[in-house]
Amino acid sequence: MMERFYNPVFVKELKLRFRSFKSFSGLMFYLAVLCIFIAGFLLLTTEFTGKGFFRPETSFMMFAVLTILQMALVLFITPSLTAGAISSEREKQTLNILLTTTQSSTQIVIGKLLSSVSFLVLMLVAGLPLYSLVFLFGGVSPSQLVSIFLFYLVTVVAIGSIGVMFSTITKRTIVAMIATYGSIIFLGGITAFFFFLTMAFHQMGNAVGTSTSFMTYFWASINPGALMLTLISPEMGNALAELSGVELPVWITYLIAYVLIIVLCLTIAIKKLRANMKSNR
Amino acid sequence: MIEIRDLTKRYGSFTALDHLNLSLEEGIVFGFVGANGAGKSTTFSILATLLSPTSGDALINGKSVVKEPKEVRKQIGYMPDFFGVYDQLKVDEYLDFYGASYGIQLAERQVLIPQLLELVNLTNKRYDYVDLLSRGMKQRLCLARALIHDPKVLILDEPASGLDPRARVEMRDILRNLKTMGKTILISSHILPELAEMCDEIGVIDNGKLIAHGNVAAIQAQLQGEKRIVMKVTDRINEVRAFLEEDPHISSIDVIDNRLEIAFNYRGTDAEQVALLKKAVLIDLPIYALSEEEKDLEDVFMAITKGADSQ
């Protein structure tokens, strides 16, 4: 039974990943950023006296900023872990040998993606104790935390798929990395810009329910930052629904859009892995 | 066993392989010779299912590399001319990974790995990191990897390139061993003598075309075309020269006066050569020795590749 689900590439990648110092330094860097932030936040709210009190609203505020910060860190780290998936094998001249084994392209691509995603999950889990400080002070419900983590996972898999796709279709890791960061800038930054642009248009006199208002909703719903905001405070979601006239919760659209990205990118990666062969699967 | 039919590969206007046809029996060692860029690696890449041909097909044990690449992969063990290793894996983990990649069960892999390491003389390196091995050891490890799923056919692209003489000899011994195990082995090299002593058959490729195919001696004869014969006489060298000039198969006659030797190129068959000698004896020419100047394989190879350069 175990052998049926055994993915050699996944196991090999995990082995290599945990043997490299880079992984540990990356994890340390990540936790250090979170620690510095939380320590700084606590010091600021207690006005460096080490005494004082901590209201649930302040704790909620910390939670919100921490969530966005963690999302930004994840977006920043994922490409560096996935954009080299296939291209680094090509650069190290190990890809040809791998492709002559009887493993299917699907197995290889999924193995590569899963190994990167599992490392990112480890990062997120390692950050949980810091997160749980928030619970100490109240103001946040566990279900909120769970849903936020689920959407971290969706985002990581989607960005990871984009990285693996670029890694397969470009010859060099550096190009794949630039392309993946470019996609993140699009998803995180350009969509936000378009959101504000369409919103400005909207406020200049367009009525609710027009194509402009739909576009406002669309740009917001594929932006990871916007999604996190609506998850943290549902009022934001309501405001957006009011503004755009689209009642569908942002997370549903986000989920559909990102699952589509995952499917599309992985399909391309699997098709292109053995691009020099006509028939492949 | 291996059947290559009209295999053609073009990159834009450049033709790397031009209607290559080749048929190989099971269990032979086949050497593929040609200058760099002649099309050896392209052929091997197609056989290894890494590259699809522009037209034509190749069958390995009846399985088409174009239509059933996955079946072909089960039948072949491929070693590319340049390859890398995963730095942070140990030798046994390296083999274990590839074993798993061929769908071999864990229990079976644990039995196979020590056997393979023994075959390639790396038993004492089992727990070393792969990147610490010497080039020759890496080459042998890669060979062990190519053998892990017990393929019937081995495709080795320049297996001895970059190896020192000792490592070369070790590699050759392993290949001999594999031949006795009944594997069909395809080896490429740009050095003909390297292959001559271990191959049953040799194919010479030039500009994407197979220009010669057969056993080593036949190839040599075919490529040489004419032989250089040296005749020793006791006397009357000019008379002998005049006699030789009459024969239509003879050209480039050189007389080495002070030694009473005469050398010439001969194009005729062995039977015609017998007739020539008989005639010389009948008219009482003072010939006391006759020998064929040995051209070594290196010269032959230089002759072929020179032809390729001038085109």
Within a domain: A137: yes
Q: To the nearest whole angstrom, how far is the Cα of A83 from the nearest Cα of chain B?
A: 18
Please name the residue of chain A whose CA is at the shortest distance from the CA of residue B76. A100
**Measuring CA to CA, which residue among A250, A270, A247 is closest to residue A258?**
A250
Question: How is domain B2-222 classified at the CATH fold level?
Answer: Rossmann fold (3.40.50)
pLDDT digits (tens, 9 = 90+) for A193-229: 988 888 887 777 655 556 667 788 888 888 888 888 8
Question: Considering only CA atoms, which of B198, B201, B185 is closest in space to residue B77?
Answer: B185
Which residue in A122, A158, A144, A143 sits closest to A67, CA to CA?
A: A144
- Determine whether the interchain pair A277/B48 forms a contact, defined as Cβ–Cβ distance below 8 Å: no
Q: Is A4 on the interface with B (CB under 8 A)?
A: no
Q: Is residue A280 part of a domain?
A: no
Q: What percent of chain B has pLDDT over 70?
A: 91
List helix spans (H) across chain B. Answer: 40-47, 69-75, 91-101, 106-119, 135-146, 165-180, 192-196, 216-224, 237-246, 270-282, 297-310
Across the range A31-49, mean pLDDT stands at: 82
Strand-strand pairing, B55-60 and B2-11: antiparallel
**Chain B residues closer than 8 Å to A101 by CB:** 73, 98, 101-102
Question: Is residue B161's pLDDT more than 70?
Answer: yes
Helix (H, G, I), strand (E, B) or coil at B117: helix
Instruction: Report if residue A18 sits inside a domain.
Output: yes
pLDDT at B54 over 70: yes
Q: Per DSSP, what are the bridge partners of residue B228?
A: B265
Is the ipTM higher than 0.90? The answer is: no
Residue A205's pLDDT is what? 67
| pLDDT at residue B293, as a whole number | 75
Q: In this predicted model, what pLDDT tens digit does every residue of A50-79 receive, in sequence order?
A: 666 666 777 778 888 888 888 888 888 899
Q: Where exactly does CATH 3.30.70.100 map onto chain B?
A: 225-298
Average pLDDT, chain B: 86
| Check whether domain B225-298 has CATH 3.30.70.100, yes or no | yes
Name the helix (H) or strand (E) containing B33. Answer: strand B29-33
What range does the domain containing A87 cover? 3-273
Asked which of A240-249, B38-47, B207-216, B282-291 is least confident by mean pLDDT, the reply is: A240-249
Pairing of strands B153-157, B76-79: parallel
Q: Does the pLDDT of residue B180 top 80, yes or no?
A: yes
Write phi, then psi, for B188 (nearest 5 degrees): -115, 155
Domain membership flag for residue A23: yes
Partnered with residue A231 across adjacent β-strands are none
Rounded to the nearest integer, the mean pLDDT of chain A is 85
* DSSP string for residues in B125-189: GTTSBGGGS-HHHHHHHHHHHHTTT--SEEEEESTTTT--HHHHHHHHHHHHHHHHTT-EEEEEE
Residue of A23, A102, A280 to mutate for B, most B C-beta atoms under 10 A: A102
A274 neighbourhood in chain B, CB within 8 Å: 50, 69
Predicted confidence band of residue B311 (pLDDT cuts 50, 70, 90): very low
- Give the separation between CA A175 and CA A228, rounded to whole angstroms: 29
B51 at A interface, C-beta within 8 A: yes
Is A278 inside a domain boundary?
no
Instruction: Provide the number of structural domains found in chain A.
Output: 1
- What pLDDT is recorded for position B309? 47
CB atoms within 10 A of CB B285: 18
Contact criterion met (CB below 8 Å) for B76 and B155: yes
What pLDDT score was predicted for residue B113? 95
Q: Answer whether B123's CB lies under 8 Å from B67's CB.
A: no
Which of B48, B105, B106 lies at the smallest CB-CB distance from A100? B48
Which pLDDT belongs to residue B45?
A: 92
In a domain? residue A210: yes
Q: What span, in angstroms and rounded, lies between the C-alpha atoms of A103 and B295?
A: 48
The residue-averaged pLDDT of B176-196 equals 84
What is the average pLDDT across B64-84? Answer: 92
pLDDT tens figures, B10-44: 988 888 999 999 999 998 999 988 888 888 899 99
| CA distance, residue B253 to nearest chain A CA (Å) | 54
Whether pLDDT at B209 is above 80: yes
Distance from CA of A94 to the nearest CA of B (A): 5
Residue B189 distance to chain A (closest CA, Å): 19
